[in-house]
Chain A
Amino acid sequence: MAQDVIVHIQRKDSPDGATYRQTFHVPYEDGMNITTVLQRISAQPVTDEGEHTAPVAYDACCLEEVCGACTMVINGHVRQACSALVDNLLKEQPEITLEPMTKFPVVRDLLVDRSRLFNALKRSKAWVSVDGYWDRGSGPLMAPRDQEEAYPLSRCMSCGCCLEACPQYNDKEDFIGPHAVSQIVLYNTVPAGQSIAPERLDVLAGPGGIAACGNAQNCVKVCPKEIPLTTSIAKAGRAATGHAIRRWFRR
């Protein structure tokens, strides 16, 4: 197959600019992915109408689906551009569409600002609170079954797919999002994270916490790392409820 790949891209020059679409024809290469397509457009930014245009702005970094940078909406599905292989996409539909994620402000073209995602991690206290970084011996032992439970959660790359798919993650609600819920569950699972576990439960039980989840279960379906997000949400729900009751009794 030596035909061109036809790609429709949703563009926007700046946050307050107008949204418009352009179509590009990119020579097909064996094994190419969407990042390669975008690289080729950067090298020859000419539309199908022969118009010389500015290169398409996009995010990319590791190109092996571990950094989470290149997340965008491809053929209507949120995913990473690097692992979106053109051969597979063409089996879905003859022409490819690329759009930015809709849950975050567009900076330019396909590049969005995911600060809110990281701020949620800050709110969640998803860290171990340590004395400092001097040598104090090893951490606590951890049963292999606990590690097996925690490890998948620790592979969350903050890509934002789950947030794009979540109906409760929007401008109106203050939901921290499934990714943050899962990080709380992670740090409340690993032995080293126990010392501030109640503080994290406060976040879960508080505004924008677990109560904001509408249980649509979209998040788990789109997670590229197949993180059991709904399992995390269920655990978080139980833990937050128990925590709230205990807190109420202690008053």
Chain B
Amino acid sequence: MAEQRVVVVGGGLAGLACAMNLAAEEVPVDLVSLVPVKRSHSVCAQGGINSVNDVTRQQGDTEWKHFDDTVYGGDFLQHQPPVKEMCDWAPKIIDLLDRLGVTFNRSPEGYRDQRRFGGTLYKRTAFAGATTGQQLLYALDDQVRHWEAEGRITKYEYHDFLGPVLDDNGVCRGAVVQNLFTMEIRALPASAVVLGTGGNGLVFGRSTMSTICTGSAAARAFRAGVKYGNGEFMQVHPTAIPGTDKLRLMSESARGEGGRVWVPKKAQDPRDPRDIPASERYYFLEERYPTYGNLVPRDIATREIFDVCVNMGLSVEKERLCVFLDVTELPPETLHKLDGILEIYEKFQGMNPRVTPMKIFPAIHYSMGGMWTDYAKDEKTGGLIAGDPRNQHTNVPGIYAIGEADYHYHGGNRLGANSLLSCIFSGLLVAPCVTNYAKTVKGAAPAKLLEDAAKAEKKRGDDFAKSSGQENPRQIHAELGDIMTRNVTVVRYNKALEETLAKIDELEDRFGRIGCPDGGNWTNQTVTFIRALADMIMMARVITRGALQRDECRGAHFKPDFQIPAPKSDDPAELHQQAEEWCRAFQERNDKWLKSTVVEYNQGDLIFTYEDVDTSLIPPRPRTYGLKGAEIIEKVWKEMQRQRGVQPAAV
């Protein structure tokens, strides 16, 4: 126990929360990050962070309702105990952030202000302008800097995590890292390694994610035996600004503050949008979902935008698919709260969104799936057992995963403003769990084990640097991104998914013949990219095969060929009958598919299994969000549940 030392990989909200919590408990931490931790992708989060709060509580809101919104939003694909625990912690986490000096927006009396976000009817979201992720990250970054000054945290910035070091018993004893300036490779000994390494949007080429979000760290753990869950569940954010290098996020807070999504009723109406009268505008989200309006969950908003543009042909522009996101009618004091994001639009598009409606389109945004991790359920509370080493522990002893990099919390679709929460929550939660695990690790990691692991990675890097084939790694990535974006995002068809797998085979084959234009051994960014490319190709396969095998629609995973036909008869009796059929089909679908995809890597092969989901706290139900015309489903489902309720023995 004397030599307890934890390596935390990733300096975003999850990694920093974990590192500072370990440091506070006097556990020495080595913090590894591709970039200075202050530049981590969490800075891109804009809208806010959710929790029940003093105001919503008086309107009938509870931790349980936040929990319910989260699992309903996720289409019930998440284990419920960790989600319940997260929602129970949420108000305390916001309080903590407040104590750390986050400049949350304030009410006139000086209380924290809240805004509404998607998938809920309560104003749960605390925010700091429209740059909340940035403000939260900076507060935690400053905490970590304090511990660094105290000597409890050692930072390894501009370092790439190349893989875990496992001993003969398959227990993790360290991590191989590479200095991206000097290219020096070394193995850091560790009692445990915590991976808070974010999502893998770069597999899709352009997304709302930062250039570092390749998912390579998770892929490297995966190759070493860590299981991966629900890879096919990728969130496509409804509102992003298309760009040549990146699809920039336009926060849900724009709609939370009253922004409206619309298209002209006349296809490609050439008039200035401001000259189109309200009667000639199609506010399709408000019309289709009267209860939630523009704040339906992201998967639904994205599909509706896609439907309006692709199926109805109502895209604002012909050449480039897009719809209007309109904040021009909001009062100046409301727009002021959105300055952070409106400036981004202005800077990159050269148009003032306060005057002219923004043109936006969906983009890959968040990985709901991630490394498989365990949890310790508290049977009394339905939540988690504090400090239990099983929480956030992967199947490989000594490797933990947190934040976007794990597969918990968001199921089939993440609600807006729940990601900052899940990242900080899992980071804080895991620290005592890791400490308790680390106490059981006996003795120092054998020096030879560490040396050999570093040597093997050095050879791999040298081989990449020396490679002189004809294939261009950047070109391979571009082709990978193109086909993934075309076939594996909003709408998925099995034929296209099979074509995608064939293309991935081809790209993998070509990867074997790459050439590296830089043979040097100093700040060789091409070698680093090539390493990540190998990982992206593999994760593309995990995502695509998962999508191909899952013949259903759930959350962000949408296959038109496996939709349950909606009841639509004009005859009430027949409509009822159709709704009953719908509900039976829904039940059957859940019996078969309400399961997490779990993938294991076995010497180049991917082994797929399906894991039951713990829905013991809130039973799954159809996810209609008050869609016009779907009322009958809600009604019939409730009737059927009541009938089932009177026959408990049958369950």
Question: Which chain A residues have a beta carbon within 8 Å of chain B's beta carbons?
Answer: 13-14, 29-33, 35-36, 39, 42-45, 52-55, 57-69, 82-83, 85, 107-108, 111, 113-114, 118, 121-122, 125-130, 132-133, 135-139, 141-144, 146-147, 150-151, 154-155, 157-158, 187, 190, 192-193
Q: A57-B525, A138-B98, A192-B99 are in contact. List 4 more A-B contacts (CB 8 A).
A: A135-B96, A138-B94, A154-B138, A155-B340
Q: Cβ of B265 < 8 Å from any Cβ of A?
A: no
A63 adjacent to B103 (CB under 8 Å): no
- Given A64-B248, A66-B44, A192-B101, A57 and B148 contact (CB-CB distance below 8 Å): no
Choice from A52, A62, A82 contacting B517 with Cβ under 8 Å: A52
**Roughly how many angstroms separate A146 CA and B98 CA in the complex, as a whole number?**
14
Q: Cβ of B129 < 8 Å from any Cβ of A?
A: yes
**Roughly how many angstroms separate A17 CA and B520 CA in the complex, as a whole number?**
13
Contacts of B525 in A (CB 8 A): 42, 55, 57-58
B110 adjacent to A143 (CB under 8 Å): yes
- Given A61-B39, A64-B344, A136-B99, A42 and B474 contact (CB-CB distance below 8 Å): yes
Contacts of B249 in A (CB 8 A): 64
Stretch in contact with the other chain, from B238-246, B621-629, B641-649: B238-246
Which A residue's beta carbon lies closest to that of B144? A127
With both chains docked as a complex, state the minimum distance between the C-beta of A28 and any C-beta of chain B, in angstroms.
11
**Roughly how many angstroms separate A68 CA and B109 CA in the complex, as a whole number?**
34
B520 adjacent to A54 (CB under 8 Å): yes
- Given A62-B210, A135-B92, A36 and B245 contact (CB-CB distance below 8 Å): yes
- Given A66-B43, A111-B523, A127-B145, A147 and B245 contact (CB-CB distance below 8 Å): no
Near A by CB (< 8 A), chain B positions 27-59 give: 35-36, 38-41, 43-44
**Roughly how many angstroms separate A95 CA and B245 CA in the complex, as a whole number?**
21
Of the A-B pairs whose beta carbons lie under 8 Å apart in the complex, a sample of 17, sorted by A's number, is A13-B522, A36-B244, A54-B518, A59-B35, A61-B211, A64-B249, A65-B344, A66-B43, A69-B35, A85-B348, A128-B99, A138-B94, A138-B99, A141-B109, A146-B106, A147-B106, A154-B138
Q: Cβ of B24 < 8 Å from any Cβ of A?
A: yes
B100 adjacent to A192 (CB under 8 Å): yes
With both chains docked as a complex, state the minimum distance between the C-beta of B517 and any C-beta of chain A, in angstroms.
5
Contacts of B146 in A (CB 8 A): 125, 127, 129
Which residue of B103, B246, B347 has the most chain A CB atoms within 10 A of its CB atom?
Answer: B103
Contacts of B508 in A (CB 8 A): none
B96 adjacent to A127 (CB under 8 Å): no
- Given A85-B348, A143-B106, A144-B110, A63 and B39 contact (CB-CB distance below 8 Å): no
- Given A55-B526, A57-B525, A60-B211, A31 and B99 contact (CB-CB distance below 8 Å): no
With both chains docked as a complex, state the minimum distance between the C-beta of A150 and any C-beta of chain B, in angstroms.
5
**Roughly how many angstroms separate A113 CA and B142 CA in the complex, as a whole number?**
20
B39 adjacent to A68 (CB under 8 Å): yes
A31 adjacent to B20 (CB under 8 Å): no
B522 adjacent to A144 (CB under 8 Å): no
Contacts of A54 in B (CB 8 A): 517-518, 520, 526
Contacts of B106 in A (CB 8 A): 141-144, 146-147
**Roughly how many angstroms separate A137 CA and B106 CA in the complex, as a whole number?**
17
Q: Cβ of B396 < 8 Å from any Cβ of A?
A: no
Q: Cβ of B352 < 8 Å from any Cβ of A?
A: no
Near A by CB (< 8 A), chain B positions 133-166 give: 134-135, 138-139, 142-143, 145-146, 148-149
B109 adjacent to A62 (CB under 8 Å): no
**Roughly how many angstroms separate A192 CA and B99 CA in the complex, as a whole number?**
6
